[in-house]
Amino acid sequence: MNNMVRYGILGFGHHGERRLAPAFEHAQNSRLTGIWRRNQDRARENAEHFHIEHVFASPEELCASPAIDAVFVASPDALHCEHTLLALRHGKAVLCEKPLAMNAGEAIRMAAAARAAGRPFGVAQNFRYNTSLTRIRALIAEGAIGAPVFASAHFSFQSRNSPRMWINDGSMACGGPIGDVGIHAIDALRFLLEQEVVAVSTLARAAQFTPAMPDRELEESAAITLEFNGGVLANVQVSFRAVYRTLVEVVGQDGILTAECGLNVDRPVTIVHQIACKTVAQEEVSNSDAYSRMLDAFSATAEGTGTFASTGDDGVQNQRILDAAFRSWHSGCRERIR
């Protein structure tokens, strides 16, 4: 236990209760030692329920604590930059939730601060630790479907009753579903294809269920086309109105790999390999340990004994793609990645 990397979570809300705290319980080299959330009464209830040692009164107190080795930033998007810079100033390793920031300018500032501090900095793109994605990536690399031609990643759910009320607030969220789950879809495709996005085209519908901000309109559904430098054309569909769905599919010159519900971590995923409309192979995998694997991988990086699959630089690149997606929605034009 003494050798474990001790984490403090900034912004211990619904995500902390549902995903992060249970993941720490199953992690091998990562321990949740302290939390901060704006509602201190709820924080104390969480600490008692999950047997967390420390409830901190402020982000500053958590980041300054000698009881904390690494800070997991799980606060709303608009606070990611502030909280990451605070943790880095106190010499902590930082694992930050996606999307990394509100825009690429903030993300670049965060990555630069981590380099200057000489501290590990990662993005909690937990799907890079999904067995479904690592298996599909391996099959593509082995040539199971030949050279990829098309790819798709879809993610939708109904957000009206989400406990994360801030995701419908344009002052706190980096967009609607494009920023919230589109970032997962985009990152998944970059990871699977091992190619980089060079241009983006977006169609989107403005949100009807939340007032538009004076300078920031949120979308409720979007269809995004990504152009990759290796020639793949990809489609990303995201929504806050449609029924829950996650799909991953890659169409190659010689075959197709499909995983319906391929990004979920709650139920088994079946990866189907098809050639000319015939199923030639399929396998069932589980993503249930993805969050724990992600935590332990970052802990190994913090200890200098491993590498993390989603670096701060990956987060910057994803943020550039998000920026281009939002520019394309408003310009109506294909936008290149800056």
Domain positions in the chain are 5-125+292-309, 127-287+319-336
Distance from C-alpha of 141 to C-alpha of 150, rounded to nearest angstrom: 15
For the beta carbon of residue 213, count every other beta carbon within 10 angstroms. Answer: 11
| Longest distance between any two alpha carbons in the chain, whole Å | 60
Specify the CATH class of 127-287+319-336 in words: alpha beta
Q: 33-61 burial, b if ≥16 CB within 10 A, otherwise e?
A: bbbbbeeeeebeebbeebebebbbeebee
Q: Please say whether the beta carbons of 274 and 256 come within 8 A.
A: yes
The correct answer on CATH 3.40.50.720 for the domain covering 5-125+292-309 is yes
* 5-125+292-309 and 127-287+319-336 share one fold: no
Structure tokens at 26: 């199953």
CA distance 99 to 174: 7
Check: CB of residue 320 under 8 Å from CB of residue 338. yes
Sheet containing strand 269-275, edge to edge, reads 278-285, 269-275, 256-260, 245-252, 148-156, 233-239, 219-228, 197-206, 335-336
How far is the C-alpha of 155 from the C-alpha of 39, rounded, in Å? Answer: 30
Q: Which residue has the tokens 């690429």?
A: 104
Q: What is the number of residues in the chain?
A: 338
Residue tagged 């040692």 (tokens): 53
Nearest residue to 228 via CA among 321, 133, 100: 321
> pLDDT value at position 210?
52
pLDDT per position in the chain (338 positions), as tens?
Answer: 457 999 999 999 999 999 999 999 999 999 999 999 999 999 999 999 999 999 999 999 999 999 999 999 999 999 999 999 999 999 999 999 999 999 999 999 999 999 999 999 999 999 999 999 999 999 999 999 999 999 999 999 998 778 888 888 889 999 999 999 999 999 999 999 999 999 999 999 998 755 544 456 799 999 999 999 999 999 999 999 999 999 999 999 999 999 999 999 999 999 999 999 999 999 999 999 999 999 999 999 999 999 999 999 999 999 999 999 999 999 999 999 98
Tokens of 127: 């799907």
Reported pTM: 0.95
Q: Tokens 């091992």 identify what position? A: 194
Distance separating alpha carbons of residues 158 and 12, to the nearest angstrom: 22
List residues bridging with 282 in a β-sheet.
Answer: 272
Three-state SS annotation for the chain: CCCCEEEEEECCCHHHHHHHHHHHHHCCCEEEEEEECCCHHHHHHHHHHHCCCEECCCHHHHHHCCCCCEEEECCCHHHHHHHHHHHHHCCCEEEECCCCCCCHHHHHHHHHHHHHHCCCEEECCHHHHCHHHHHHHHHHHCCCCCCEEEEEEEEECCCCCCCCHHHHCCCCCCCCHHHHHHHHHHHHHHHHHCCCEEEEEEEEEECCCCCCECCECCEEEEEEEEEECCCCEEEEEEECCCCCEEEEEEEECCCEEEEECCCCCCCCEEEEEEECCEEEEEEEECCCCHHHHHHHHHHHHHCCCCCCCCEHHHHHHHHHHHHHHHHHHHHCCCEECC
